[in-house]
Structures are given as C-alpha cells and as structure tokens.
Amino acid sequence: MSHPELTPHEVLAAGPAAPDVNERPWLVRWDLLGEDAGDLVRGALPPTLDFHTSGTTGPSECWRRTRDQLWAEAGMLAELLRPERPEAVLSFAPPRHVYGALATLLVPARLGLPVWYRPHFFGAMPPSPGGRWAVIAVPWSFSALRRKRAWIEAREHVAVLHSTAMLPSAAQDFVQEAGPGRVSVREVFGSTETGGIAWRQWGPDDPPWDLFDDVEFVPDPHDSDGSDGLGFVPAPRHPDDEASTEADTDPDVPLTVRSPRLASRPGLAPLPVWRTDDLVRPCGARRFRFSGRRGGLVKINGRRVELGALERALRAVVDCADLACLPVADELSGEHLELYVVPPPGRRLDRARVRALVAGHDLTVQPRQVHIVDRIDRSPTGLPRRIHPTRPADAGAAT
C-alpha cells in the first residue's frame, strides 16, 4: 500500500517530530472520526510543543507553542481553504516544522477530511477519484505536481495552501498548465517565532498581504528609517538581472507584530511583540507588500541562511580578492543564492575549481551557481552594490 493508514490518535500521539510521521507517507481518515476532533487533539497532544529554527548557518533555536495556539491557528488556516469546498487533502509539508504541524496534522482535523501525506519529490499520488482537493505545499511541491498532470486534470478543483518560503516560479507554470479555474493558491506569511502573520490569494500581479484577524502592526522604535546597519536583501531577482543588494529603503519599515499566537522560549514568558527579519511597505492599517529581508538572510526551502556567515565560511576555503553571496529567484525552492568571486590580483580562477572547493567544504547549503567576476563594488558599510561582468575567459566553464 503506497500510503499506510494511521488513525487520528496514532498520528497525534506519535507527535510532530516523530520520524515515521515525517519520513514516510501515510493516510489519516479524519472524515471517519467518531468523536470531536478538538477533544481528541486536547487529549493526544501535550500542552506545549517545541519547534526549532533551521540553524543553517547559526545555532538552531527552540520556540515553544501551546496546543491551544496551534489548534486556533489551524482553524484560521482551515478557513482559508473552506470556501473552495475541498473533499480531501494532499500534504507535502513535514510536521516537524510548525507549518507542517499546523497544515498537515491539524488543518485536516479542522476540516474533517482525509489527508494523504507525501514527504518526497518522487512517490505515489493518492489513488482516490477526482473531486475537489486541498494541497498543502512547500516550494518543491509545484515541480512535483507538474509531473503529475494527469492526476491534476482528473480533479475538479485544487486549492493550494503554501508557506515556508517565497512562491517559486514553477507555481505560476503549474497554475497556467492546469487550465483556467482549476487551481487556486493561497499563501501564508509567517515564521517559527510568530506562526502565521498574513495571507493572500496569489496572483501574477503580486497582490498585497492581509494580516490575520488576531495580528497587529507594531511601530518599531529601534528602526524607524528601515535601516539598522545590518543591510537589506531585496526580494530575489532572476539571475539574469543586474546583481545588487542596495535598495531605497525609505518607504519600507521592519515588520514588527503583536499576536496571541507568538511563541515563547522554553522557561520564559510568551513574547509581547516580535520584530521579524522582513521589511515591508504598509498599504493601510492591515495590509502590506513584502520588500525584502534585513540582515543578509534568505530562505531556501524554509531554511534561513545568513549570507554573511556563509561568506565568512567560504573565505576560509576560496583564495580570492573578494566574494559575495547574493539571493536569486529559483524555480524549485522559491529563492536561492549564488556565489560571486573576484580572483586575487594578477591571477586567474577556474570556476569549476572553485565549485569543487566549495562542494568539498562542510556547508549545509551550496551556492546554486559560481561566477568569476572582475570586481564587486561595495557601499561604505560593505554591502555589494554592483557586480562587474564575468570575465570572458570564464565563459563556458562548468557550472
């Protein structure tokens, strides 16, 4: 059987971090539950659950959410999907992360629907007939779904809920290929520390985000001009765009919020407010447009990568005059990073050799591509301003 069936009690009792709940496919029939789902959740889950940030280039941090916070947020996410009248759920989001715990474990319970969990890019799709489906997506899900066009075409409608990173370009291709009206996409903006902050119905015109009803903007007294000296990473561009990390940040403000669903550190009181790593442009009292991230952060498949820390690690590996890691848009993961390297004075660098050096270093995240460039102009604070063209001698080298 491609999706072994677990009972609702079994999947909850195992817990969101259990390997068998994260690494193997399964099916849970919430539609056949003979009791109140909320009572089961309160009886099977502990009062608090711990989730961890990725710790990709720094220490992983533990953040604690209460069972009641999670159940309340699952209800809010379920309400985003309910207007589409789904009859079943397919999820790709691992429950070990807070988004997966919410959307894979608890949203189907809120909706009273069967849920099939598929943890890997390759694997079987649910064997059930067509109808109206909800899909809990992470960035790579869209590329996986494009490989299953016949399955999608057999559905009357597919309502996608996506979070953890920027929507990849494969999502737009997936919507277009599915045909008019067959697929809708709702995005959730949030983090381990905050849970869901805002949501939007995706569209190619990049619509603004709406705060969830229990979230409020908080003016940030520490950063009223949108600059804290840590730098600004704009929303990733296509790799063919001119590389630059400087932007006019005057209209942008740090996204700082208040919500009853903010997490707490173990042993400490819940946070009163949380200042995210994001810069936004408010559109009225309860809407915003995402402008980019502060502090040199990108998120790759939900993992936070600090570009400065990665650059420091790479400088110990690559003999060069300068280097920089810059964010780019990515079809599969939503965003990624690429490495730009300036050779030492009077010397050449082979791109394939640099890639081999980088690949041999113990890095959790590898640059998507390596470029050998003439120089990197920097601002007075050291931020890359302009990348000068790659050297003609480097053209055609292995990437």
Q: For residues 288 and 285, what is the distance between their CA atoms, to the nearest angstrom? A: 9
What average pLDDT does the segment 224-231 reach? 38
Structure tokens at 332: 């599969």
Range in 211-220, 293-302, 342-351 the model is least confident about: 293-302
Q: At what angle do helices 37-44 and 67-81 cross, to 10 degrees?
A: 150
Contact criterion met (CB below 8 Å) for 52 and 61: yes
Tell me: the pLDDT tens digits for 64-102? 999 999 999 999 999 999 999 999 999 999 999 999 999
| Cα dist from 232 to 268, 296, 336, whole Å | 31, 6, 16
Range in 29-33, 40-44, 52-56, 361-365 the model is least confident about: 52-56
Q: Would you give the DSSP letter of residue 126? A: P
Output the pTM of the full model: 0.75
What per-residue confidence (pLDDT) applies to 26?
97
Q: For residues 35 and 221, what is the distance between their CA atoms, to the nearest angstrom? A: 49
What per-residue confidence (pLDDT) applies to 187?
96
Q: For residues 197 and 204, what is the distance between their CA atoms, to the nearest angstrom? A: 21
What per-residue confidence (pLDDT) applies to 325?
86
Name the CATH superfamily for 5-207: ANL, N-terminal domain (3.40.50.12780)
CATH match of 297-394 with 3.30.300.30: yes
Place of tokens 């608890």: 106
Residue 223 has pLDDT above 70, yes or no: no
| Domain map (residue ranges) of the chain | 5-207, 297-394
Tell me: the pLDDT tens digits for 179-202? 889 999 999 999 999 999 999 999
Tell me: the pLDDT tens digits for 243-255? 433 334 346 899 9
Average pLDDT of the residues of the chain: 84
- Higher pLDDT residue, 383 or 210? 210
Q: How confident is the model at residue 388 (pLDDT cuts 50, 70, 90)?
A: low
- Runs of H (alpha helix) within the chain: 8-14, 19-23, 37-44, 67-81, 98-100, 107-111, 141-146, 149-153, 169-178, 307-315, 351-359
What average pLDDT does the segment 23-52 reach? 96
**Residues 6 or more apart whose Cβ sits within 8 Å of residue 269:** none
| Cα dist from 302 to 100, 143, 157, 170, whole Å | 11, 16, 27, 16
Fold match flag (5-207 vs 297-394): no
Tell me: the pLDDT tens digits for 113-164? 999 999 998 888 998 778 999 999 998 899 999 999 999 999 999 999 999 7
